[in-house]
A = this chain, B = another copy of it.
Amino acid sequence: MTERLVVVGADAAGMSAASQARRMRGPDDLQIVAFERSTHTSYAACGIPYWVSGDVSGPEALVARSPEQHRSRGIDLRMSTEVVAVDVAAGTVTARDLATGAEETLAYDHLVLATGASPLRPPVPGIDAVGVYGVQTLDDGAALLAGLEALGEGPRRALIIGGGYIGIEMAEAMCSRGLEVTVITMGEEPMDTLDPDMGRLVHEAMAAMGIDVRTATAIEAIETDAAGRAVGARAGGELFSADLVVLGTGVRPNTALAAAAGLPLGQYGGLVTDRRMRVQGYANVWAGGDCVEVLDLVSSRRVAIALGTHANKHGQVIGTNVGGGYASFPGVVRTAISKVCDLEIARTGLREADAVAAGFEPVSVRVESSTRAGYYPGAQPLTVKMIAERRTGRLLGVQIVGREAAAKRIDAAAVALWNRMTVEEMTALDLGYAPPFSPVWDPVLIAARKAVEAVNRTR
């Protein structure tokens, strides 16, 4: 008998799940219906800042697979159709065609919730004014580009609210477009996914790029002109004038639908699943992508991390399980990399504050090294911070700030964390060495050696 898989949300997690299930089970065995409330499928949201900057030519480049491509693979895809209710007892979803308002109730054998995350909008006056832009969807990107074009040439000023990944990437994009840029963040430093001492390095580098970074500053209101158009913001008691305002204030799991259905949500509002990405307590309901919480393997706590690479893995795991195979997603170590112009920023594991919150006593070291052998042309400075547990020396986290091939160096540390290595074990790691690529002591190994000494001093 043909089973039916219903997918809610046709972006990375949802369509990876659908595609993988389809690879494993033919149309006679598994009917797949996917609902998407927007007009786009499977697009790279993380590429939007680079489209806005002009590095990527157009939105179509960001679409990994179009609705037509999905349909041609035997997926019944309903665009501009929003699932408005899930009845897990009855095993049905109710979907509304956003153009006509018509509703349909459909039974499922397997349900995949991949509803993503929604941007957090500071609840201040004027936040919904014309000229205030998000960068979450392709439509957001198009609106921002249209707004930019309407400004014409000449001196223009952008105000970025938020100093995290989106904030710094949009700061780069606005610099690329020739705007003067101010970044306002509530954090002690920008990039508060790093410890403040490492965030300070980002701050200094951004200042040297001509970006005005205001820290520990809360947005109070968007200022508008008589036509209701944003002309700046009031923050920290100061008035910042701007031709456009960009919001990069984070996201939260989009789980209103799941909550209404009574499904279990965690501390950060994300769906709680088991290792196979099955919603806890529901045999045939799966969830993945930005709408779930995942296990942080270092702190052993659940966290919400909106990242395309995780969403794709979740979809792959769900699709394999729905397809009759076995796959699991053990968790994350919170690896993340980014850049602002030529400054690369990477982190994995816990920050000092995270470590303390998880009950570890952290020991930290910071080393200055170089991206290549010191004598090799183009060698650039690189700062590595390493955090270990007191006494045991277990690696807890690594942060890297530097230029040119700095960011992906975090991967070696991420794999070490995954394997619960101690910093002493790490000192012997056989990492790649040649003068164009690394000093003879790899920066991560130098940090590990210093961390061993620091751990020994605090035993």
Contacts and interface: CB of A to CB of B under 8 A. Distances in A.
Interface of A: 12, 44, 46-47, 50, 55-56, 61-62, 165, 307-310, 312-313, 316, 328-330, 332-339, 344, 346, 348, 373, 375-377, 405, 407-412, 414-416, 418-419, 421, 427-438, 440-442, 449
Given A309-B442, A312-B440, A414-B432, 18 more contacts: A46-B440, A47-B375, A47-B435, A50-B375, A50-B376, A50-B435, A56-B375, A335-B430, A337-B432, A337-B434, A339-B434, A348-B432, A411-B411, A411-B431, A414-B430, A415-B415, A415-B431, A419-B421
A433 to B, nearest CB: 4
B433 A337 contact: yes
Contacts of A408: 405, 408-409, 432, 437-438
Contacts of A309: 431, 433, 440-442
28 contacts: A44-B373, A46-B373, A47-B375, A50-B375, A50-B376, A55-B377, A308-B433, A308-B440, A310-B430, A312-B441, A334-B430, A336-B432, A337-B434, A339-B434, A344-B437, A348-B430, A405-B408, A407-B434, A408-B408, A408-B438, A411-B411, A412-B414, A414-B432, A415-B416, A415-B429, A418-B419, A418-B430, A419-B421
Given A62-B375, A375-B47, A432 B419 contact: no
Give the oligomeric copy count: 2
Contacts of A336: 432, 434
Contacts of A337: 432-434, 437
A453 to B, nearest CB: 11
A339 B44 contact: no
A449 B206 CA distance: 38
Contacts of A339: 434, 436-437
Contact of A432 (B316, B346, B432, B441): B346
A441 B338 CA distance: 16
Nearest to A12: B440
A282 B313 CA distance: 52
B419 A47 contact: no
Nearest to A426: B415
A50 B442 CA distance: 19
Contacts of A441: 309, 312
A165 B432 CA distance: 13
A96 to B, nearest CB: 30
Contact of A411 (B55, B328, B428, B432): B432
Nearest to A414: B430
Contacts of A338: 434
Contacts of A412: 411-412, 414-415
Contacts of A428: 313, 328-330
A433 B44 CA distance: 12
